[in-house]
Structure 1
Amino acid sequence: MVRRMSIPTEPIGSIPRPRELRQALSEHAQGTLDDKELTALQQRATADTLDRLAAAGCPVLVDGEQAKPSFATYPIAGLAGLAPHGAAIPFADGHVRQLPHLTEGPFRYRIRAESYLRDARQHTDRPLKQAVIAPSALSLLYPPEPIAGYSREAFLSDLADEAEADIRGCLEAGAHVVQLDFTEGRLSLKLDPSGALLDDFIDLNNEVLGRFDATERARLGVHTCPGGDHDSTHSLDVDYAGLLPKLFQLKAGNFYVQLASEADPERVLAIIAEQLRPGIRVFVGVTDPIDPRVETAEEVRDRVLRAARHIPVDQLGTCDDCGFSPFADDTSTSRDLAFAKIEARVRGTALAAAELGVPVDAR
């Protein structure tokens, strides 16, 4: 018997990789470990991740992105027609993540997320969530100067088709929910304070989301956060008030909103409350993945109860603020710490549900 909370709680995506897998990735990059050996270690790490999430009481599981190079670049891993030194993403601590840039068309995904979902399904029969990168993030691959014979408009058309296929493949493979990672949303307001870039991102994502019907969109979600890499962020200093009204224009049924690390969560919740519409659910972040301290279940409970003062319980869910170590080379957060925080989220959400008088259904 699986007990399912009526206040749903879900992880975001990435989980720190085991040390042996990080070492294997390094050896593979150096050519001293073959593809078969790396794949075996990734599968072992995926199975362990699913087992530990289940043991923590998670009603919805993720594969922890153990086989992804990162949450952002999985579709283009090994893709020809890319050059280094594309769009740069600076973090508050001074480190920079840099995307490649496209040199030729047509643009095609080399790897689709459904392959990770199908691999994970071999290890569990529980509900599985699949994270995919939002097309808005991949739109940054097109360089400032036009590519000869391949216009930006043609690229965006190809990108929308590829993103739709990525999402649809996950739905057809049985994903409980497909989550678009939209961390670039808040960042866009730092790159372009006018909001024009954010408007472009919203339009592109809605072009893709609008291709799904209402039943399908109920299984689609969008995640926003200010980044969380090497214990630093790229846009926590950007006012949420500039993002949230436009975020909720996206044609999705679920919204996963970083909140635990916000300086003034009451203000953010008030903004969210103004944007609520029927038929959507807002999952609020109740644990901070880059805070080295493990939240107590009681702290999580209190954060859920605070959110419930602004968001109707039947539209409320909980999540972690962001994924843990979304890039494979990020060792700032230990695997054990991540699972401890996740367990606190699950337990704290259950405590809040009990206090709110929300039943826990047996399934």
Structure 2
Amino acid sequence: MTLPTEPIGSIPRPPELLRGLAEHAAGQLDDAALAELQERATADTLTRLAKLGCPVVVDGEQRKPSFLTYPIAGLDALAPDGAVVPFADGHTRQLPRLTAGPFRYQVHADSFLRSAREHTDLPVKQAIIAPSALSLLYPAEGIDGYSREAFLQDLADEAEADVRRCLEAGAHRVQLDFTEARLSLKLDPSGGLLDDFIALNNSVLDRFGPEEQARIGVHTCPGGDRDSTHSLDVDYADLLPKLFGLQVGNFYVQLASEPDPDRVLGIIAGQLRPGIRVFVGVTDPIDPRIETPEEVRDRVLAAARHIPVDQLGTCDDCGFSPFADDTSTSRETAFAKIAARVRGTAMAAEALGL
């Protein structure tokens, strides 16, 4: 037995891909040429992760426009003036607004997974967006002829298909990115919005059996974009008891950037149930300083004082570049932090006698 360690998802794109994305947006590069750059970046990402000794790899989201919007890339029924997400440093991200139904994914994540598996024999994890995030596309004023109830049913069906197609394509793990969970408590401190999000996500997860749920996980963090967050000031104590009500076998919890990780670990310990594993964040992607393996080891050992080792794993706090245009963290820094996570986790496993 050893301690499992997994990446979360995104890794900064190489400079040539960033140039290609800009040229494609300006009409100076065609779809085929962009796809070739994305394929090369994917292969390079997987090769480098393997060289670092990662037991589970990801494609780094080299082909996604963002962790959030990949299912709707190319959807015509969108307007640009959707919900706005403010970050602590003052910058914002704005979602599109759905203008007509029925709602259908234009891209499913198994397409990324199948491409990645052509470049590696290692287990590949696939991150997907939680349906709760995409529920924010529906406007408060409604859509004529397409009710919110009809939209949510379509959304749940599409989200189920996204998970199921990845499982059938051989994903080692399918991870729902649920960064809006903590944000929801900032938008609605009563917890009503979070309850709605949990219910929607569970309406999808309940469609899977126990063996499938064991291969599904959920990731929570306070957002990580351009070295800033949107909800780090929200108390984890208000989120985690509800988060652990999700019907999945794996929880990926941002922890390295928490001001009081020991307190959070105590909360997590109170939510444990048989059959789940908690992957705690041991590297902080928005901190430019690269953690040492020894720091990672010590963070793991601290977690092991609260979480049984057979229910413990490690991860990065969040993705390193969830939006393709986020260049705040370099590709080299991301790989250096991942190397520290892998090595530090191995050191902790040895110290624990695993």
Please indicate the TM-score interval, normalised by the length of the shorter structure.
over 0.9
2:204 matches 1:208: yes
Q: Deviations over 1:71-125 (max 9, x none)?
A: 0000000101000110110000000001001000000000000000001111011
Give 1:246 shift. 0.3
Matched, 1:292 2:323: no
3-state SS in 1 of match to 2:278 = strand
**Paired position in structure 2 for 1:242:** 238
Q: 2:344 aligns with which of 338, 343, 348?
A: 348
Alignment of 1:16-165 (within 5 A): 16-165=12-161
Q: Give the distance between the partners of 2:165 and 2:103, measured in 1 at CA.
A: 18
Task: Specify the code of the residue in structure 1 equivalent to 2:319.
Answer: G
What letter corresponds to residue 97 of structure 2 in structure 1? H
Equivalent position to 1:257, from 253, 257, 264: 253
Using the alignment, how far apart are the partners of 1:53 and 1:324 within structure 2? 14
Structure 1 position 274 matched with structure 2 position 270: yes
Q: Which residue identity does 2:288 align to in structure 1?
A: P
Question: 1: CA distance between counterparts of 2:186 and 2:73?
Answer: 27
SS at match of 1:70: coil
Cα distance in 2 for residues equivalent to 1:85 and 1:104: 14
Q: State the 1:306 CA deviation.
A: 0.1
| Code of the aligned partner of 1:294 | I
Separation in structure 1 between the aligned mates of residue 135 and residue 42 of structure 2, nearest angstrom: 29
Unaligned stretches of 5+ residues in structure 1: 359-363
Show the counterpart of 1:334. Answer: 330
AA at the equivalent of 1:192: D
Helix, strand or coil at the partner of 1:283: strand
Structure 2: runs of 5 or more not aligned = none
CA distance in 2, matches of 1:23, 1:260: 32
Deviation at residue 146 of structure 1 after TM alignment: 1.2
Q: Distance in 2 between matches of 1:25 and 1:304?
A: 38
**Correspondences of 1:314-329 after superposition (within 5 Å):** 314-329=310-325
- Equivalent-residue separation in structure 2 for 1:50 and 1:18 (angstroms): 13
Task: Pick one of 173, 188, 192 that aligns with 2:169.
Answer: 173
How many angstroms apart in 2 are the aligned matches of 1:145 and 1:183? 25
Q: Secondary structure of 1:175's partner?
A: coil
Give the percent of matched residue pairs that are identical in Structure 1 and Structure 2: 79
Q: By how many angstroms is 1:299 displaced?
A: 0.2
Q: Does 1:230 align with 2:226?
A: yes
**What code does the residue aligned with 1:311 have?**
I
- Aligned residue for 2:270, secondary structure, equals helix
- For the residues of structure 1 that align with 2:13 and 2:344, how far apart are their CA atoms? 25
Distance across 1 between alignment mates of 2:100 and 2:80 = 13
RMSD: 0.5
